[in-house]
Amino acid sequence: MRINIFQLFFLISILVTQSSYSQVDVVYTNLVWSDEFDANGAVNSSKWHHQTQLPAGGSWFNGEVQHYTDQLTNSFVNGGFLNVVAKKEPYTSQGITKQYTSARLNSKFSFLYGRVDVRAKIPTNQGTWPAIWMLGKNVNEDGGFFDAQFGTTNWPACGEIDIMEHGITPSQPANYVQSALHTPSSFGNTTNIGGTIANNLGNDFHVYSMNWSPFQISFLLDGVVFYTYNPAVKTPSNWPFNAEQYLLLNIAMGGIAGTIPSNFTQASMEIDYVRVYQNTIVDNQAPTNFTASIGAVTSSTIELLLNANDNSGNVNYNITYSGGTIALANPSGIQKSVIVPNLMPNTNYSFSVSASDLAGNNYIANPIIVTATTTGVIGCSGSDTQSTDGLPFNLGYNYSFETIGTDVKITFELLDAKVGLVAFLRRLSPFSETQMTNVSGQIFSHTVTGQTIGSTINYAVKFAFSGGLSVTRFISYVVGSNCALDVPTVSESRQLFYPNPVDNVLHLQLSDVHNQITLTDILGKKHLQTTVGALEDIDTSNLKPGVYFLRIQNMYGIQHHKIIKK
């Protein structure tokens, strides 16, 4: 759709604002290529190539059943919108007849690093697979626009960036769209997947975006980041994204998109615009006002707070420490929080931090040195295989609870290999589910804030993946307690509670004459809280059968014990 110069500048300003709030690492502001789909009729042949050649053998790579054609009925511009149309109709090409037709458009433009915005309304019909995606310009794929001249590399070594896909995630809720990356280290059923819910999908237009820098690739829906791919150590196996890529628009039919209903006739993806932004202005000014300081510190992480200004709008930061190097970027003038992970407790760390811009201009006083010492661990950890809902676990899961001030960081790792994995932290009373942050691989974390030291919290995790879901058992943790090693001290071992399992009376024989005891059930409800002496009997006759947790606090510290009520 055509826009005038004033509108363009306005939209760019909105783009920059959205990017800043969305915390993409590099803001791209110069429009370098676009199609506004102004002229009715056939697509602009100077910008788009119809990819119609079938792969060897006549079948597409994921079992799709359509012919891609250059027919005007499968791709055309009308009223400022590109229409990519999948139709049910017999069509013979290259000696093969198929029952469905569609279009697959390649951009005749390729680029390295930048931002793509595509405003589109996509079909949600069963059996359709609409996609907005990218492939390496060097991909060896017969029939692709760049193949004859540049096709030297097989998939997935060329790299694939899927900006938007729909219709291939039956385990996900309605209105779910996903983004994915395919690399030599993870392809096909790749684990590099992120997704989000788009309101009123199929009826409303949404802006699907991808922001690609030398450091990370972020995916946005309507200006909000929902997934970022950022391998800590980049290799050709996990990061083939250092060469030019081009855009593809298509609707596939069937295959992994599922069964096509017998009453299907056609479905259309309407595209308002496709825009690519880069930074093209020559920059010879170094960053200014560079600051680096320490933020939150835990037993395994140290937060670095970085900020600097640069006329280009973006700043690169390079952090060097005993554990390696971290390279990243952030918009100019916006404080960046960098969490340095996998540190040892009670250890001093020194960080050398430098600032530069994308053109390589260095801050005049590089580097800044900052130091911090990690804390001791206050928390619990363990492993289990118990499932309370959905599919059973095979290898199971690891979990940890760590108290940080009045917050509790909860981390779960699924040991069973799954595709399309997302995790939700589940609280039972009152019931709630909160999506957890993917830390790396199949490790997910979420921090619950504002907890009371000494209170008991209970959480489980729902792992959702392609083909189903599994839910862990509810795990109780006393905020502020340290039971990670599960090894009793000498004083703990002298403290007796018996019998266990208990019928009516639980006998306590403790090491101190002044003990605070609390008895809670698996949901965290307190059934007893009192102060007792060294010898005490607890009446449990009114308790329902089940698992309870006994907390004992005295001069020897805090201990936790599991009690089974018959």
With cut-offs at 50, 70 and 90, classify the pLDDT of residue 123. Answer: very high
Query: Are 288-373 and 490-565 equal in CATH topology?
Result: yes
d(CA 71, CA 52): 10
pLDDT value at position 483? 67
Q: Tell me what pLDDT residue 495 has.
A: 66
Residue 137's nearest CA partner among 62, 54, 49 is: 49
The per-residue pLDDT for 523 is 65
| Pairwise CA distance, residues 549 & 454, whole Å | 13
Distance CA 496, CA 378 (A): 24
Q: Is 165 a catalytic residue?
A: yes
CATH architecture classification, 5-278:
Sandwich (2.60)
Read off the pLDDT of residues 279-326 as tens digits, 9 standing for 90 and up.
998 899 999 999 999 998 888 889 999 999 999 999 999 999 998 999
Q: Which three-class secondary structure state does DSSP give residue 135?
A: strand
Reported as a single tens digit per residue, the pLDDT across 364-418 is: 999 999 999 998 878 888 888 888 888 999 989 999 998 888 889 999 999 998 8
Asked if 116 contacts 275 with a C-beta cutoff of 8 angstroms, the reply is yes
* CA–CA dist 515, 553 (Å, integer): 6
As a whole number, mean pLDDT of residues 451-469 equals 90
The DSSP line for 464-521 is: EETTEEEEEPPEEEETT---TT----HHHHT-EEE-SSBSSEEEEE-SSSSEEEEEEE
DSSP SS3 for 235: coil
pLDDT at residue 356 in the model: 97
Compute the distance between CA of residue 222 and CA of residue 14 in angstroms, rounded to an integer.
12
How far, in Å, CA of 379 to CA of 402, rounded? Answer: 4
Q: For residue 240, is the peptide bond before it cis, meaning its omega torsion is within 30 degrees of 0?
A: no
Alpha helix (H) residue ranges in 133-279: 147-150
pLDDT of residue 557: 65
How much is the pLDDT for 80?
97
Residue 225 vs residue 9, higher pLDDT: 225
Superfamily of domain 379-478: Immunoglobulins (2.60.40.10)
Residue 402 is a catalytic residue: no
- pLDDT single digits (tens) 215-259: 999 999 999 999 999 988 899 999 999 999 999 999 999 999 999
Q: What is the CATH number of domain 490-565?
A: 2.60.40.3080
Indicate the pairing of strand 302-309 with strand 288-297.
antiparallel
Task: Name the band, by pLDDT with cuts 50, 70 and 90, for residue 10.
Answer: very low
Q: What is the pLDDT of residue 485?
A: 34
**Residue 566 confidence (pLDDT) above 50:** yes
212: closest CA among 190, 229, 232, 235?
229
- Which tokens hold the place of 25? 């690492």
Average pLDDT over residues 451-463: 90
Domain boundaries, the chain: 5-278, 288-373, 379-478, 490-565
Cα→Cα distances 372→188, 340, 344, 351, Å? 42, 11, 12, 9
Q: What is the pTM of this model?
A: 0.69
Nearest to 181 by CA among 225, 150, 212, 205: 212
More confidently predicted of 59 and 87? 87
Instruction: Give the span between the Cα atoms of 67 and 169, in whole angstroms.
Output: 23
How many CB atoms are closer than 10 A to CB 366? Answer: 15
Please compute the mean of the pLDDT values over residues 446-453 and round it to a whole number.
92
Q: Would you state the pLDDT for residue 389?
A: 85
Closest of 132, 139, 141, 78 to residue 104, by C-alpha? 132
Residue 230 φ/ψ, nearest 5 degrees: -155, 80
Does an H or E element contain 7, and which? helix 5-22
Residues 188-206: tens digit of each pLDDT: 988 899 999 999 999 999 9
pLDDT of residue 556: 65
Instruction: State the average pLDDT for the chain.
Output: 89
Task: Provide the token pair at 304.
Answer: 């670095």
pLDDT at residue number 555: 67
Q: What is the pLDDT of residue 298?
A: 84
Topology at the third CATH level for domain 288-373: Immunoglobulin-like (2.60.40)
Amino acid at 350: S
Catalytic residue from among 36, 89, 141, 165: 165
Tokens read off for 499: 């019998």
Active-site residue identified among 64, 141, 160, 413: 160
- By mean pLDDT, which of 134-138, 332-336, 368-372, 485-489 is the weakest? 485-489
